[in-house]
Structure 1
Amino acid sequence: MKENKSENSLLIEGRNAVLEALRSEKPIDKIFVQDGCQDGSVRTIVREAKKRDVILNFVDKERLNHLSETGRHQGVIAYGAAYEYASVEDMLALAEKKGEDPFLILLDNIEDPHNLGAIIRTANLVGAHGVIIPKRRAAGLTAVVARTSAGALNYTPVAKVTNLKKTMEDLKEKGLWFVCADMDGDVMYDVNLKGPIGLVIGNEGEGVGRLVKETCDFVASVPMKGEIDSLNASVAAGVLAYEILRQRLQ
C-alpha cells in the first residue's frame, strides 16, 4: 500500500519517541525501520513491536527520508492510529446491550482510506454494531478515515484483527453467519439476510480473497444494468447493508 503522509494523522519519528509510544500502548498501525540498523535501541523497538504484533517494514534510508516530516527520524518512523481500536467482543456486547442480533461489516483488502471512512459512515447509518478490518493490506484509522466517516467513527467501533478467516470462524461458533459480495453470487433480494450476520466486502479490483470467500455461507450480488461490471467498494457495501437493514425491519 502506498503511504501518503497527509492520510496519517499521527507520525512518530525517532527511536525514543517510537519506543515510548509502544510502551505506553498507543495504537500503532505500522513501524518503518531502516534496513541494516542493529543498534540496541532499534532491536528493542523491533522486539516490542513483535510483542504487540505491530506490522514491521524494513526499508532503505531513502524511503524513510521521504516519509519523514522532521528530517530526524533516526532510522525509525511509526504510524499511529487517529482513534483507538475496539475489540470484536465490544461489538457483540453492543448488540446484546441493544437487544439486537449482531450485524458486523468485515472488510477484506480495503486499502483506500476514503472507502473505509465511507463504509464506517454507512455502518453507523444502517445500525451495524461494528466494522472489522485485517492488520495487513488495509487502511488504518487515519485522519482521512475519520473525516470521511463524518463523525461516525465516534460511534461505530472498528476492530483490527490478525486473521480475518479465523475471526469469522470464531464468530460462527457464536451464531453468526456470513455473506460476501461477489458478482457471481445470488441476487441479494433472493438471499435471506436476517439474523446474526456478517457482511464481507472486498476491494473492487480483486474482490474478497479466496479463503475468506470460502468461509462465507452465502454469496450475494448487486443487480447491475449498465455497461461496466463493478461498483466502488463503499457503494457495494452501502447497497448490501441497506438490504440487510430492510430485511431486519420487516
Structure 2
Amino acid sequence: MEESRIVEGRNAVLEAFRSGKTIDRLFVLEGCKDGPVQTILREAKKSKDTVVSFVKKERLDQLSETGKHQGVIAYAASYDYAELDDILASAREKGEDPFLIILDNIEDPHNLGAIIRTANQAGAHGVVIPKHRAVGLTATVAKASAGAINYTPVAKVTNISKTMEELKEQGMWFVCADMGGTTMYDLNLTGSIGLVIGNEGHGVSELVKKNCDMVASIPMYGDIDSLNASVACGVLAYEVVRQRINKAK
C-alpha cells in the first residue's frame, strides 16, 4: 500500500468521503457498530468505487502507519476516475469510432501504468478496469504511465462482462488476447472496438472471453509461450492502429 494514499482515523476517513475523494478500499474493524463507523459505512455505500472489507484488529494494525487508525483505514485513489459515458461521448465529439482497452483483473500497478501509456499513444479513448480484484489508480500506476494518466481517462466498473454487454448494444465489438485465437493479422479490428487484456497469470476469464466477438493471438517465434500483459496490449493496440490507418486511406 502506498503512503500517499492512506487515510487513517474516523474523522479523516469520513472527511475523505465527504470531500468527494475516490476511495478504492475501506478496511473496518469487524464487529464495530458504533455511530461514527456506521456513518462512514453509509458514505462508502453511496460510492460505487469503494470496496469494503471487515477485518480483525491485527490486520488494521499491520496496515496502519500511525498506530491510530481507530478501527478504520481507507485507501484513496491518487487520480480521479472517469465515467464511461463521458469517454464514449468524447470519441463521438472527435468523429471517431470508440477504441477502448478493457482490463480483466490486472493486478500489477506497473502493467496498468504501462497500458495507460500505450492507450494514450495508440489513440485509445479510454481504459476500463474492474472494481474488484484489480489494481486502481495509485501513485505507482501514475508514475509508470509517464504522465499519460493525466490525458487518458480510466473508468472503473462493477462488472466487466455486463459492461461489455451494454457496450455491444451500442455497436461495439470486442477482441481479447489469447494464445488459442486467430492470428491478429487475419482479424478485422476496425470500427468501434474494445481490446480486452487478461490477468497476468490467468489471462482473460472464461466469462469475459464468452462476451468477446473475436479472440486474437500474437505470432510468437521464441522459446516461451507468452508476453507480459502490457506488451501484449501494446502489440494488439498497434494492430488496431495499423488497420485504422489502412481503412482511412
* Residue 15, structure 1, aligned to residue 21, structure 2: no
* Residue 36, structure 1, aligned to residue 31, structure 2: yes
* CA deviation profile, 1:88-126 (whole Å, cap 9, x unmatched): 111111111221110000000101100000000000000
Cα drift, residue 141 of structure 1: 0.4
User: Which residue of the partner structure matches residue 26 of structure 1?
Assistant: 21
User: Which residue of the partner structure matches residue 232 of structure 1?
Assistant: 228
Task: Measure the CA separation in 1 of the matches of 2:117 and 2:92.
Answer: 21
* Residue 45, structure 1, aligned to residue 40, structure 2: yes
* Residue 163, structure 1, aligned to residue 159, structure 2: yes
User: Which residue of the partner structure matches residue 72 of structure 1?
Assistant: 68
Q: Secondary structure at the match of 1:72?
A: coil
Alignment of 1:71-220 (within 5 A): 71-220=67-216
Contact 1:64/1:77, CA 8 A, preserved across alignment:
yes
Contact 1:204/1:230, CA 8 A, preserved across alignment:
no
Task: Measure the CA separation in 2 of the matches of 1:113 and 1:69.
Answer: 21
Contact 1:204/1:231, CA 8 A, preserved across alignment:
no
Percent of aligned positions with the same letter in both sequences? 71
Q: 2:34 is aligned with what amino acid?
A: D
Task: Measure the CA separation in 2 of the matches of 1:176 and 1:38.
Answer: 45
Task: Measure the CA separation in 2 of the matches of 1:209 and 1:91.
Answer: 25
Q: TM-score, normalised by structure 1?
A: 0.95
Contact 1:14/1:74, CA 8 A, preserved across alignment:
yes
Cα drift, residue 35 of structure 1: 1.4
Unaligned stretches of 5+ residues in structure 1 = none
Alignment RMSD (CA, Å): 1.0
Q: Secondary structure at the match of 1:115?
A: helix
Contact 2:5/2:78, CA 8 A, preserved across alignment:
yes
Task: Measure the CA separation in 1 of the matches of 2:221 and 2:138.
Answer: 35
Task: Measure the CA separation in 2 of the matches of 1:24 and 1:204.
Answer: 34
Contact 2:81/2:154, CA 8 A, preserved across alignment:
yes
Cα drift, residue 221 of structure 1: 0.7
Task: Measure the CA separation in 1 of the matches of 2:58 and 2:108.
Answer: 24
Cα drift, residue 230 of structure 1: 1.3
Contact 2:127/2:153, CA 8 A, preserved across alignment:
yes
Q: TM-score, normalised by structure 2?
A: 0.96
Contact 1:34/1:60, CA 8 A, preserved across alignment:
yes
Once the two structures are overlaid, the 10-residue window that deviates more, 232-241 or 59-68, is 59-68
Cα drift, residue 28 of structure 1: 0.7
Cα drift, residue 46 of structure 1: 1.6
Task: Measure the CA separation in 2 of the matches of 1:9 and 1:92.
Answer: 31
In the TM superposition, structure 1's runs of 4+ consecutive aligned residues that sit over 4 Å from their partners are none
Q: Secondary structure at the match of 2:115?
A: helix
Task: Measure the CA separation in 2 of the matches of 1:191 and 1:181.
Answer: 12
Q: 1:28 is aligned with what amino acid?
A: I
Once the two structures are overlaid, the 10-residue window that deviates more, 235-244 or 201-210, is 201-210
